[in-house]
Structure 1
Amino acid sequence: MQLKGKIAIVTGATRGAGRGIACMLGELGATVYCTGRSVRGNPATGNRPETIEETAEMVNAHGGVGIPVQVDHTVVEQVKTLIERVKLEQGRLNVLVNDVWGGDELTESKPFWEHSLQKGLLMQQRAIYSHLITSHYAVPLMIEQKQGLVIEVTDGDNFSYRGNLFYDLAKISVIRIAYAMAQELRSYNITALALTPGFLRSEAMLDHFGVAEENWQDAAKQDPHFIASETPFYIGRAVAALASDPNVFKKSGGVLSTWNLAPEYGFTDIDGRQPNWGKYFAENVANQEQLLV
């Protein structure tokens, strides 16, 4: 239980990567404030059934302490109230994971001049502003202790185009946020970095293909690339490994990936696999695109 006694905030913990991260921090004994907008009886994202209470219960089941807190991270007063509560109840903060996204229903497969401007700008508010607001109020708790880890969850570990201007801007921006924070936090011994999963086998993605985790490989009949997918717990174990590493400061400012961290730290996905989306993408996606040009 390397993280027993450590205090973490995982934003966007309702589902997907956020839920996986919260649970795997709990697996190592951490106390995790699981924040998001969806609570029992009041879903905030379409008809998705997941809630922050359910995530907190899963953290408990994995051995940690889960604390659900309803927060819209684009609302300054709600974020301030969250951080004040953490300071009052715990007196410190060890890990902050900025995983708020909220852009799935906003992304359109169109060039930017045809894309809904309202949706595109709202995506920036949810995926960038929310991270800035949360770090602005949370990081001072770490500065008081001169220690801490801030992780910005992104998509991709490079600067290649991500298929949609608004989506691309959101994901690249948080990488730069991590890098910039690392520079300003260096003298305080606080680590800031960006982290990406591979092809995430989230609850929504399983539903999209009409499969469950037990038979997820059947979805490869619809999309062959799905065979290289990973559960949200894989990035969760990546975060837990980073949070447990006494030398994590050496990685400050970097852009890391699940597939590179897994062999370095020796963790696996919950099914015992070590998916390598980076290698798979290079061999089966990027290479095929080059052959078609």
Structure 2
Amino acid sequence: MKPLEGQVALVTGATRGAGRAIACSLGEAGATVYCTGRSVRGRPATGQRPETIEETAERVTAAGGHGIAVQVDHTVEEQVEALCAQIRREHGKLDVLVNDVWGGDELAEFGEPFWKLSMPKGKLLLERAVTSHIVTSRHAVPILLERDRGLIVEVTDGDSFGYRGNLFYDLAKMSVIRLAFAMAWELRRHPGITALAITPGFLRSEAMLDGFGVTEGNWRDATAKDPHFIASETPFFVGRAVAALAADPNVAAKAGRVFSSWDLAREYGFTDVDGRQPHWGEYFEKTFGPYRKADEAAYASWRDGPMDLAAPDWPKE
């Protein structure tokens, strides 16, 4: 029996990149996976990228699970409500929620100081990359609460406290880590539901490979343009990390924190699709020096066990 057989997952932003690989990895472990995004066949939503949610769902099924494609704009609450109603109607439960919506590639103005940034672009980036996660959790988590069990995964970029090169981009990715912490805190009296954040390393996504003019077969050629690409990983590395977390009966001990594909690979023993175990954290420290993790304070508050369930209730007015 596969470790996630019988489980139902929702992966938002599953059109390509990490979202697609996470959906496929959950399918490989036996799950039924709702794959959502805006791009469907014949109607791409982000530039000229060819990937679609239907293709992702087909890959989930081919991997051994059951993929279900649903076109959803996760910034539109009515569409998210309809999606969650569909999941409840068709399966009556939800075991795994992965918030991976991004949609900000064309909006992040890297190289510009914050006082020169476009406010409309910045607001839209935050709506897509942060508000969409909140809207989805608002309507999907009540399905988890009905059985008082499940996993919520917030996908971010980087586990460090360091600056990510653009004010809105940095704010979005750090906010996602904080969302995991905040949800874990508010779920502390529901120990069967775990919220956490996860990051891939230097990702060899479809768009990244195209940008370097290489394929997965000759990706090392891209190191001529960027030597750091040698420490990169496929999207399936973080996909397998999420599948391992979903199958871990002790995942509650990880509530509220941010984890990396490379550290989880060593903990759970999985590899990337090419058999490697790239470790972006070690490569980064060797190349650029030590860095502090974004959740050090949170980790210190419950490093001896899961989140303190005896914490006092919220103050009443």
Name structure 1 gaps, 5 residues minimum. Answer: 288-293
Q: Distance between the aligned counterparts of 1:278 and 1:116, measured in 2?
A: 32
Q: Deviations over 1:123-143 (max 9, x none)?
A: 000000000000000000000
SS in 1 for 2:5: coil
1:147 maps to amino acid = R
Aligned residue in 2 for 1:86: 87
Name structure 2 gaps, 5 residues minimum. Answer: 291-317
How many pairs were matched up?
287
Q: Distance between the aligned counterparts of 2:115 and 2:91, measured in 1?
A: 47
Q: Pick from 278, 281, 285: which aligns with 1:278?
A: 281
Q: Pick from 120, 132, 135: which aligns with 1:133?
A: 135
2:77 maps to amino acid = V
Aligned residue in 1 for 2:204: 201
2:193 maps to amino acid = I
- 1:122 lines up with 2:121 in the alignment: no
Aligned residue in 1 for 2:113: 111
Q: Distance between the aligned counterparts of 2:161 and 2:266, measured in 1?
A: 23
Aligned residue in 2 for 1:161: 163
1:222 maps to amino acid = K
- 1:224 lines up with 2:211 in the alignment: no
Q: Deviations over 1:37-95 (max 9, x none)?
A: 00000000000000000000110111010000000000000000000000000000000
Q: How does 1:29-40 map to 2 (within 5 A)?
A: 29-40=30-41
Q: How does 1:9-48 map to 2 (within 5 A)?
A: 9-48=10-49
Aligned residue in 2 for 1:142: 144
2:210 maps to amino acid = D
Q: Distance between the aligned counterparts of 1:51 and 1:111, measured in 2?
A: 34
Q: Distance between the aligned counterparts of 1:177 and 1:205, measured in 2?
A: 27
Q: Distance between the aligned counterparts of 2:69 and 2:88, measured in 1?
A: 16
1:120 maps to amino acid = G
Q: Deviations over 1:201-220 (max 9, x none)?
A: 00000000000111111111
1:161 is displaced (CA, Å) by 1.0
Q: Deviations over 1:156-183 (max 9, x none)?
A: 1122111111000000001111001001
Q: Distance between the aligned counterparts of 2:284 and 2:199, measured in 1?
A: 14
Q: Distance between the aligned counterparts of 1:260 and 1:165, measured in 2?
A: 27
1:117 is displaced (CA, Å) by 1.1
Q: Distance between the aligned counterparts of 1:57 and 1:281, measured in 2?
A: 36
Q: Deviations over 1:221-279 (max 9, x none)?
A: 11100010000000000000000000000000011000100010000000000010011
Aligned residue in 2 for 1:8: 9
- 1:214 lines up with 2:217 in the alignment: yes
Q: Distance between the aligned counterparts of 1:217 and 1:66, measured in 2?
A: 32
1:166 maps to amino acid = F
Q: Pick from 229, 232, 239: which aligns with 2:242?
A: 239
Q: Distance between the aligned counterparts of 1:117 and 1:190, measured in 2?
A: 36
SS in 1 for 2:56: helix
The TM-score normalised by the length of structure 1 is 0.97
The TM-score normalised by the length of structure 2 is 0.90
Q: Distance between the aligned counterparts of 1:38 and 1:214, measured in 2?
A: 26
1:153 is displaced (CA, Å) by 0.3
SS in 2 for 1:50: coil
- 1:72 lines up with 2:98 in the alignment: no
Q: Pick from 233, 247, 255: which aligns with 1:252?
A: 255
Aligned CA-pair RMSD: 0.7
Aligned residue in 2 for 1:290: none
Q: Distance between the aligned counterparts of 2:271 and 2:197, measured in 1?
A: 20
Aligned residue in 2 for 1:291: none
2:267 maps to amino acid = E
SS in 1 for 2:214: coil
